[in-house]
Copies of this chain bind each other. A is one copy, B any other.
Amino acid sequence: MDEITKLTKKLQREIALNRDFVSQEEVVLLSFVHTWQQLEWLGKRFFPRFGLSDAQFNVLMILWDYRETGMRQHELASILMVNRASIGGVIDRMEKQQWVRRQRDPVDRRSNYVHITPAGIALLEKVRPVYYALFPDAFAHLNSNQQQDLLKLLERFRQGILPINKRLKEGNHEPS
């Protein structure tokens, strides 16, 4: 039995699939989703140990990145690929904790600039090293070349998904 067959059967067991895969493409897709679920599980349990959610950690990372200028809410939403309404609530709760602050843009008064605060920076600087310390274990079974291969293949996968998403986006507009 070759390696791919073994991997396929292993995945089949792990996701309790009670049938054959319909194609190799489905194997890859379900393997990708299964891998994401493992990673998501990690994030959902890791960050709350520091009193924040995974979504809040991501916001802190981005706002630290843009600590000189701050960032508008809709830009945050766009980067995180979430709805604009959703980021509002996250910022609300983080503002209550005083990890971020909102500041009206004087040039475009519709916009808020969101800034990370000293308290936010302090929290991030506590969490971030522990977060980065997970990386060696997470990538223990992938050497540098394999990491680069994975990078290339993920990029190719995205290139396939992108046009589908474009079609779905356009399809949202009914003909007028």
Residues of A within 8 A of B (CB): 3-4, 7-8, 10-11, 15-19, 22-29, 31-42, 45-46, 62, 65-66, 75, 79-81, 132, 134-142, 144, 146-165, 168-169, 172
Report whether A31 and B81 are in contact in the complex, using a CB–CB cutoff of 8 Å. Answer: no
Report whether B157 and A24 are in contact in the complex, using a CB–CB cutoff of 8 Å. Answer: no
Q: Kindly provide the distance from the CB of A115 to the nearest chain B CB, expressed in whole angstroms.
A: 14
Q: A150-B153, A153-B142 are in contact. Are A135 and B29 (CB under 8 A)?
A: yes
In the docked arrangement, what's the CA distance between A163 and B139, Å?
11
Report B-chain residues with C-beta under 8 Å of the C-beta of A75: 16
Report whether B168 and A141 are in contact in the complex, using a CB–CB cutoff of 8 Å. Answer: no
Q: Kindly provide the distance from the CB of A24 to the nearest chain B CB, expressed in whole angstroms.
A: 5
Report whether A138 and B29 are in contact in the complex, using a CB–CB cutoff of 8 Å. Answer: yes
Q: List 6 A-B contacts (CB under 8 A).
A: A4-B148, A7-B152, A11-B155, A17-B65, A141-B157, A146-B156
Report whether B28 and A150 are in contact in the complex, using a CB–CB cutoff of 8 Å. Answer: yes
Report whether B161 and A19 are in contact in the complex, using a CB–CB cutoff of 8 Å. Answer: no
Other than the given A11-B155, A18-B65, A139-B160, 11 more pairs (CB < 8 A) read: A4-B148, A7-B152, A19-B65, A32-B150, A35-B157, A38-B162, A39-B161, A42-B165, A46-B168, A140-B160, A149-B149
Report B-chain residues with C-beta under 8 Å of the C-beta of A18: 65-66
Q: A36-B36, A146-B153 are in contact. Are A41 and B135 (CB under 8 A)?
A: no
Q: A19-B65, A157-B139, A165-B38 are in contact. Are A144 and B31 (CB under 8 A)?
A: no
